[in-house]
Amino acid sequence: MRHAIDPKIDCVFKALLGSEENRNLLIHFLNAFLAQELSEPLVWVDILNPYNDKEFLSDKLSIVDVKARDSHDQLYQIEIQLTSYAHLPSRIIYNWADIYNQQLKSGQEYLELRPTYSIWLLAENLLVDDNAYVHHYKMRDEQGQTLTPHGGIWLLELKKFNANQVETEDQRWLKFFKDGECLNDEALPDWMITQEMKQAMSTLSTFSEKDQQYYQYQARQEYLREQRTIQSELELANKREEAANKREALALAEIERLKALLAQKE
């Protein structure tokens, strides 16, 4: 490729899994991660918010996630997240609940609700006290009894994935998203020699070889870098404010302690 392309950049990610021409890649991705969850492999999904390069790259507020529905009306969401922050888990749960909730229209009953599967690819670690790179969440009690089988949330932490030998299709996708920017389409490693991975690399090459799309990719990358910088600065400012408030509280507590000592002496 002329230019290195990171598949984690939102416009590339959505072109990979959210475009009509790559529908088979979306199906392959979902089957790779949900094989043990689904009663049968997916053979068809309807992409609910298909990628349109002109609309996406010209709109800084474009919807980044990929949403799809299968032939049984089960819903799927896939999202890439480049940064981690304290309230990200709340956002993940809210998004799942919002998609699940939107199924029912006026007059419909709860029995018409269908499972909703949400998969998040995380570029930064979220769960710092756990070395596992895949986490699957469902609504269960403390004994592990499932309240409802209606889908769940999968977190895939790319930084924690360090498999040197790819053995499964889900590992192939994780390695692609983690190391894709370093791949050379003219000398692919053995783990990339599959129909799906070659097609995924072809999508990366489109952004790499076509000047207009590469410039748009660069602009998108710069916008995301700017947003991450602003977020980091806000988090740092919040930490400083919290530290200042803590120091002030300690100082006030010390003053009150000294006042109490003086009162006892009097």
Per-residue pLDDT of 219-233, as tens digits, reads 778 877 777 787 778
State the burial class of residue 251 (Cβ atoms within 10 Å of its Cβ: 0-12, 13-18, 19+).
Answer: exposed
Is the residue at 5 inside a domain? no
Q: What is the pLDDT of residue 168?
A: 96
> What is the spatial distance between Cα 38 and Cα 48, in angstroms, rounded to a whole number?
20
**pLDDT recorded at residue 67:** 97
Quick check: is 31 in a domain?
Answer: yes
Q: How confident is the model at residue 258 (pLDDT cuts 50, 70, 90)?
A: confident
Residue 2 domain-assigned? no
Alpha-carbon torsion (159, 227, 176, 44), positive or negative: positive
Give me the mean pLDDT over the 84-110 stretch.
93
Whether residue 4 is contained in a domain is answered as no
148 within domain boundaries:
yes
> Is 48 domain-assigned?
yes
Tell which wins on pLDDT, 217 or 82. 82
The confidence score (pLDDT) of residue 240 equals 85
Residue 1, domain member (yes or no): no
Domain of residue 260: give its range. Answer: 10-265
Torsion angle defined by CA atoms of residues 162, 164, 169 and 170, in that order, rounded to the nearest 10 degrees: 0
Stretch 46-61: mean pLDDT, rounded? 78
Instruction: For 41, list phi and psi in degrees, rounded to 5.
Output: -60, 145
φ/ψ (deg, to 5) at 128: -75, -20
The pLDDT assigned to 57 comes to 63
Q: Look at residue 134 and tell me if it is in a domain.
A: yes
Please count the structural domains in the chain: 1
Question: 125 and 133 in contact (C-beta within 8 Å)?
Answer: no
Q: For residue 85, name the pLDDT band (cuts at 50, 70, 90).
A: confident
Average pLDDT in the chain: 89
